[in-house]
Amino acid sequence: MFGGLHFSLPAGPVKPPTDAPPPTPVNFPELCPLDDGSSSTSSTKSGNAGSSELEQPKLLVPFLQTLQRPVEVRGRHLAALGVHVTQDAPLSAVIPDPAVIPDFEKWDTLKLEDVSVPMNEEARKPMDNGQKAPGIVFYLERKKELSIQNQVAFRAVRRMPPITGREVPRLGNSFEFYKHLETMANYWDDPSDPWEPPQKKVAEGVSEDAKDEPTRSVESEPTQTPSNADSSLDPERVTYRGNPGTAMPPDARHNGVAAFLRMVVYEFKCNISAARTEPRLQIREPKLSDKGPAPKCSYFPSGCTFGFRTPTTRVDARTGVVEGPIFALSTRGSTNFTTEMDKAIDLGREVVAALITAQHRAREGKEEKRFGNGQWWCTKQRWGGRQGGPVGKEIEAAEAKTAAALAKNSGAEGEKLDPAASKVQEGPGSGDGSGSDSRKPILPPPSKMRKLPMRKPQMSIYDDYRMVRPPSCTWDKKARYSAIGKVPGSQVDEVFVVSSLYHHVCFIRVTIPTNLLEVLDGALQGEGEEKAWGGVEMIKSKWFDLFVADQRIEAMKHIWSIMSWVMRPIENKDKYRDTDIPAGDMMDVDTGAGDRNEGQCKNQ
């Protein structure tokens, strides 16, 4: 009756782990790839690097198609794209137009109760979807939520009672963020609230006491160890790092960063969602002559997700229609950047995420050109046009079926030879109900089993292989691709990438020329032209630690400014826009998902 009262009792202090592994060091990659040979990089100092590092390829796409694995990425591949990186840039450099950045310095001096309704409405700027951006009240509320101490927020997430004398914090929209941040705290040390293992404290205390009292007996030491360990318990702490950072699941980092971004993105009528089709950077070899073979097509898959704008109509929003993308989110679990190869691979993943976002934004008003459409291997039957025989496990299944049929036939012939052996001998009393069998209970006859509903026949992998059809569709049927926030008539697209490593986030502005997208799509680069597109400019902010309150507030200002730039109203944008095509009208094709091997080049 009273067995559930123990749930209402306050929980005791959480004990720290006694066998916690050493923490994972946090070192960020810093790589400036070669650019026209004018800048030097340490990749040329490696043992296998020589003059070939400075040689620029004549054609970009065939050079990139030589990549088969991520470990093959080097600085020369990024230099072929003309990548130039600027590290630790301020907020005014990350945003193309600093005029759209709100006056955060003035907002920080205000209190929530001092903000009047007219003042808040004046700060809410109009957006391109006809609605207004968030104002001062929303900013101060999010700032207050992000300023809560981590351990206090973790207690609220666990529904634990607060410390005596303190109020229960109101997490509000930051509940999901702190929930995932608590998961990350099991793998990383909190810099805002450092904790020292009790073994180290006890060992240091014993060593200091040993210097003062060298004649102390050994029997007295064990009596001091438990008291020291108990005194090291912090009643306010509810999480301790018990695992290395390398063991943290990738979803924990992605969910934590996505929840942090949604705190601001939602108010701008946008959302972060995974792509329904695998994000791929598609590259096509240029066709040099009409008589030659078909150009080779390749793609680089990526595990990034995107931020989309939510439609204003309720019907489209309920059916899952999205508009954009407006930025990319790239979270990676790499922790070792000691070599130039590791740095080049990580930078390459950020570049691929930016190029994929630019390709998706450039799809507005276009139709998909599926790889292999019209080729012989998409129209002609295999095996010279004949049906062909069994494949793979079908041969084993046919042999097993033949063996079972032979065994069944041999058993049936044995029953015909000795029919008396198949009869069951009747025991005494079985006919009149007497004997030992009469004591058994009479059970009702078993009911007939209901037939299962007819399932839709599924095609086996071998039948699916035998079908002749082009590759699966890579365009999302429910995505209205558009370059939201792009300057009308501009020859470059400002793409934003939110990069995440360890428990940090970084905001990157990538300037991608339209000529580069055309070259990747198979346009002729021209004879003697090297990087006719000028290059790819990457401006990266500094890394912000999500465990530190001041740094995550600065990160909130960055994503707020990015959304203010992307969602700003643009005049006369219909003048430069192509014919609008509803989602799904031009993509009535079968879909499919490919392998999610990030960074691996696949040729078709």
Query: Do residues 381 and 539 lie in contact, with contact meaning Cβ atoms separated by under 8 Å?
Result: no
Per-residue confidence band for 198, with pLDDT thresholds at 50, 70 and 90: low
- Name the amino acid, one letter, at 229: A
Query: How many Cβ atoms sit within 10 Å of the Cβ of residue 210?
Result: 12
- pLDDT higher at 470 or 275: 275
**Of the ranges 85-94, 105-114, 242-251, 431-440, which one carries the lowest mean pLDDT score?**
431-440
Would the pLDDT of 423 be above 90? no
Query: Do residues 566 and 485 lie in contact, with contact meaning Cβ atoms separated by under 8 Å?
Result: yes
Query: How many Cβ atoms sit within 10 Å of the Cβ of residue 264?
Result: 23
The torsion angles phi and psi of 477, rounded to 5 degrees, stand at -65, -30
Measured CA to CA, the distance from residue 332 to residue 21 in angstroms comes to 22
Query: Do residues 503 and 184 lie in contact, with contact meaning Cβ atoms separated by under 8 Å?
Result: yes
Q: What is the pLDDT of residue 441?
A: 58
Query: Do residues 207 and 297 lie in contact, with contact meaning Cβ atoms separated by under 8 Å?
Result: no
Tokens found for residue 424: 């069951």
The torsion angles phi and psi of 230, rounded to 5 degrees, stand at -70, -35
Per-residue confidence band for 496, with pLDDT thresholds at 50, 70 and 90: very high
Q: What is the 3-state secondary structure (H, E, C) of 47-108?
A: CCCCHHHCCCCCCHHHHHCCCCCHHHCCHHHHHHHCEEEECCCCHHHHCCCHHHCCCHHHHH
Would the pLDDT of 172 be above 60? yes
Tokens found for residue 331: 């979270």
Instruction: Report which secondary-structure segment, H or E, holds 549.
Output: helix 549-566
Summarised one tens digit per residue, pLDDT across range 217-247 is 333 333 343 334 444 556 678 888 989 999 9
Query: How many Cβ atoms sit within 10 Å of the Cβ of residue 237?
Result: 18
DSSP letter at 145 equals: H
Would the pLDDT of 254 be above 90? yes
- Name the amino acid, one letter, at 306: F
Straight-line distance from the first to the last Cα atom of the chain, in angstroms, rounded to the nearest whole number: 68
> Chain-wide mean pLDDT for the chain?
78
Would the pLDDT of 52 be above 50? no
Segment 390-418 shows an average pLDDT of 71
The predicted model scores a pTM of 0.77
Measured CA to CA, the distance from residue 557 to residue 143 in angstroms comes to 10
- pLDDT higher at 323 or 20: 323
Q: Could you give the 3-state DSSP secondary structure of residue 127?
A: coil
Query: Do residues 138 and 107 lie in contact, with contact meaning Cβ atoms separated by under 8 Å?
Result: no
Q: What is the pLDDT of residue 380?
A: 73
The most confident of 160-169, 201-210, 546-555, 566-575, by mean pLDDT? 546-555
Whether residue 325 has a cis bond before it, omega within 30° of 0: yes
Query: Do residues 157 and 171 lie in contact, with contact meaning Cβ atoms separated by under 8 Å?
Result: yes
Q: What is the pLDDT of residue 439?
A: 57
Summarised one tens digit per residue, pLDDT across range 531-560 is 678 899 999 999 999 999 999 999 999 999
Per-residue confidence band for 396, with pLDDT thresholds at 50, 70 and 90: confident
Measured CA to CA, the distance from residue 362 to residue 483 in angstroms comes to 6
Quick one: how far is CA 393 from the chain centroid? 35
Number of helices (H), then strands (E), belonging to the chain: the values are 17, 12
Q: What is the pLDDT of residue 16?
A: 78
- Name the amino acid, one letter, at 515: N
Tokens found for residue 228: 């020291």
Q: What is the pLDDT of residue 193?
A: 83
Would the pLDDT of 596 be above 90? no
Would the pLDDT of 10 be above 80? no
Entry field: residues in the chain: 604
Q: What is the pLDDT of residue 225?
A: 39
Query: Do residues 113 and 296 lie in contact, with contact meaning Cβ atoms separated by under 8 Å?
Result: no
Query: Do residues 297 and 603 lie in contact, with contact meaning Cβ atoms separated by under 8 Å?
Result: yes
Q: What is the pLDDT of residue 424?
A: 47
Alpha carbons within 13 angstroms on the beta-carbon side of residue 182 total 17
Instruction: Report which secondary-structure segment, H or E, holds 307.
Output: strand 305-309
Measured CA to CA, the distance from residue 367 to residue 296 in angstroms comes to 20
Q: What is the pLDDT of residue 411?
A: 65
Q: What is the pLDDT of residue 409?
A: 76
Residues 6+ apart with CB under 8 A from 146: 174, 263, 549, 552, 553, 556
Tokens found for residue 238: 């509810």
Q: What is the pLDDT of residue 147?
A: 96
Percent of the chain with pLDDT over 70: 70
Q: What is the pLDDT of residue 484?
A: 95
Q: Could you give the 3-state DSSP secondary structure of residue 369?
A: coil
Q: What is the pLDDT of residue 197?
A: 61
Quick one: how far is CA 18 from the chain centroid? 33
Query: Do residues 563 and 324 lie in contact, with contact meaning Cβ atoms separated by under 8 Å?
Result: no
Per-residue confidence band for 457, with pLDDT thresholds at 50, 70 and 90: low
Measured CA to CA, the distance from residue 495 to residue 281 in angstroms comes to 15
Measured CA to CA, the distance from residue 597 to residue 280 in angstroms comes to 11
**Of the ranges 44-53, 288-297, 447-456, which one carries the lowest mean pLDDT score?**
44-53
Query: How many Cβ atoms sit within 10 Å of the Cβ of residue 399?
Result: 11
- Residue matched to tokens 């450092």: 194
Segment 10-29 shows an average pLDDT of 79
DSSP of 266-305: GGGTEEEE--SS--EEEEE-----SSSPPPPEEEEE---E
Would the pLDDT of 182 be above 70? yes
Q: What is the pLDDT of residue 467?
A: 74
